[in-house]
């Protein structure tokens, strides 16, 4: 997967997720590979560095290799220039953790952000993370091919009709 920045919005994000889902081998191992791949590309989650917590947390707080901008994302879920990063991080969490620990991690991450960003609480980030947790649980249950449709249904800005391909 090329490691570069992109700012083409939700349509490009959906296309990327669909392409990676299509490459995932069938079964549990393929689904796990998919989640690890999108986690690394879109949220900078590198599990190989998990055992070095300082490095792991620093990279999670930095910009990921792929960024999609805000174009076409539901503004109720956007609080920065790359909502796909936060969403994908919590798809990752929702896939690997049961519901309650995943929710606890989301709240702890937002509390840490409150202090890191000088007392700013992001309800939009919390809402986006909740969607990501739900979608991560669905990917665990149904496989990666469900994710592009879930993104289109719950992350896309529905105030405007979708772009025509003609």
Number of domains composing the chain: 1
Domain membership of residue 140 (yes or no) is: yes
Domain membership of residue 165 (yes or no) is: no
Question: Residue 156 phi/psi, 5° resolution?
Answer: -75, 150
The model's confidence at residue 162, banded by pLDDT at 50, 70 and 90, is: low
- Token digits of residue 41: 């590309």
Domain membership of residue 149 (yes or no) is: yes
Write the pLDDT tens digit of every residue in 73-129: 999 999 999 999 999 999 999 999 999 999 998 988 888 877 877 777 789 999 999
3-state secondary structure 97-153: CCHHHHHHHHHHHHHHHHHHCCCCCCHHHHHHHHHHHHHHHHHHHHCHHHHHHHHHH
Domain membership of residue 3 (yes or no) is: no
Domain membership of residue 35 (yes or no) is: yes
Write the pLDDT tens digit of every residue in 14-73: 999 999 999 999 999 999 999 999 999 999 999 988 888 888 878 877 889 999 999 999
Q: Does 37 or 6 have the greater pLDDT score?
A: 37
The yes-or-no verdict on residue 163 having pLDDT over 80 is no
Which pLDDT belongs to residue 160? 63
Q: Is the model's pTM score more than 0.75?
A: yes
Which pLDDT belongs to residue 152? 96
Domain membership of residue 160 (yes or no) is: no
Which pLDDT belongs to residue 7? 62
Task: Determine the Cα–Cα distance for residues 3 and 1; give it in Å rounded to an integer.
Answer: 6
Task: Determine the Cα–Cα distance for residues 126 and 86; give it in Å rounded to an integer.
Answer: 9
Boundaries of domain holding 130: 10-154
């Amino acid at each position: 997967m090329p490691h570069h920045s992109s700012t083409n919005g939700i349509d490009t994000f959906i296309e990327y997720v669909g392409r990676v889902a299509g490459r995932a081998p069938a079964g549990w191992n393929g689904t796990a590979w998919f989640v690890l791949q999108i986690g690394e590309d879109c949220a900078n989650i590198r599990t190989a560095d998990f055992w070095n917590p300082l490095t792991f947390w620093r990279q999670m707080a930095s910009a990921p290799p792929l960024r999609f901008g805000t174009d076409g994302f539901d503004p109720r879920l956007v609080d920065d220039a790359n909502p796909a990063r936060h969403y994908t991080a919590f798809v990752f969490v929702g896939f690997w953790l049961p519901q309650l620990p995943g929710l606890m991690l989301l709240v702890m991450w937002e509390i840490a952000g409150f202090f890191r960003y000088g007392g700013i609480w992001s309800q939009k980030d919390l809402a986006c993370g909740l969607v990501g947790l739900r979608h991560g649980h669905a990917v665990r249950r149904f496989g990666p091919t469900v994710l592009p449709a879930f993104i289109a249904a719950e992350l896309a800005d529905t105030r405007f009709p979708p772009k025509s391909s003609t």
